Structures are given as C-alpha cells and as structure tokens.
C-alpha cells in the first residue's frame, strides 16, 4: 500500500499504526504523530512558478 502522508518532523514516509494509541498513525523513525500529505510542497512550487511568470510578463511589458 502506498502511503500519501509524510512526517512533519523528519520527512519520512515510514508510518506505522500504533495499537496503544487506538490505531493512530505514527512515524517509525522519530515516533511523531504529526503528519501531512506529500502533495503539500507542490502547492508552494506552483506559487513560485506563478510569481516567476508574473515577473517575466511585467518585464516584457516594461521593456
């Protein structure tokens, strides 16, 4: 099964279900239960691309 979540602390995708916490997913490397989706950094990259495109268009219009 492919995991679509990663740990916020160490960035690992090695997650296990801890039975003592009621099946809550935790990181097997650092033990943290703070997780996020893998697609999160892609949204930041899209914003950077939009800013670069806007700057290029602005430069073309000015010159």
The DSSP code sequence of 5-16 is: EEETTT----EE
- Is pLDDT above 60 for 48? yes
Query: CA distances (Å), 57 to each of 20, 36, 45, 53, in order?
Result: 56, 34, 19, 6
- Note the pLDDT of residue 3: 62
Residue in the block written with tokens 């690992």: 12
- Note the pLDDT of residue 43: 56
Tell me the mean pLDDT in the region 10-27.
82
Q: How far apart are CA 35 and CA 55, in angstroms?
A: 34
Report the predicted TM-score, pTM, of the whole model to 2 decimal places.
0.49
Tell me the mean pLDDT in the region 11-31.
83
Domain boundaries, the chain: 5-62
Tell me the mean pLDDT in the region 28-37.
82
Query: CA distances (Å), 49 to each of 21, 32, 35, 38, 46, in order?
Result: 41, 32, 26, 19, 5
């Amino acid at each position: 099964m492919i995991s679509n979540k990663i740990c916020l602390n160490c960035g690992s995708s090695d997650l296990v279900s801890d039975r003592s916490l009621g099946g809550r997913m935790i990181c097997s490397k650092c033990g943290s239960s703070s997780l996020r989706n893998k697609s999160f950094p892609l949204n930041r990259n899209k914003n950077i691309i939009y800013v670069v495109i806007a700057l290029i268009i602005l430069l073309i219009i000015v010159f």
